[in-house]
Amino acid sequence: MNSRYWTLAKRSPPPWPDETTFALKEALAPTPDPGQALTRAIYVSLDPYQWGYKRCGEEPEGTPCHARTVSQVVECWIDGLAPRDFVFSTRATCLE
């Protein structure tokens, strides 16, 4: 299964994002380890504070963008979660 994700495309980002600031990448979806889940993002929130975080150089170029998400579980190794469950995550990496 492939996943798509957004990355910061260039260093240093401009004061305001434009169409060249981010790049859409594709890769094989990771296989979750015990205690992890693979989810599909339904809703992604890239909060305004994150732009300042990116401009400070905290995220290396090419790293998947961190975001808050509402996602649906695809594969899971966490007790109490099952495929098709919906979850809210504050530590997600945006995989589409």
List, for residues 59-86, the tens digit of each pLDDT value.
677 777 677 889 999 999 999 999 999 9
Residues 6 or more apart from 33 whose CB is under 8 A from it? 77
Strand order in the sheet with 66-76: 37-45, 66-76, 86-93
Report the percent of the chain where pLDDT is more than 70.
Answer: 77
Domains in the chain (CATH in brackets) are 2-93 (3.90.180.10)
Confidence of residue 58 (pLDDT cuts 50, 70, 90): low
Nearest to 3 by CA among 72, 95, 90, 76: 95
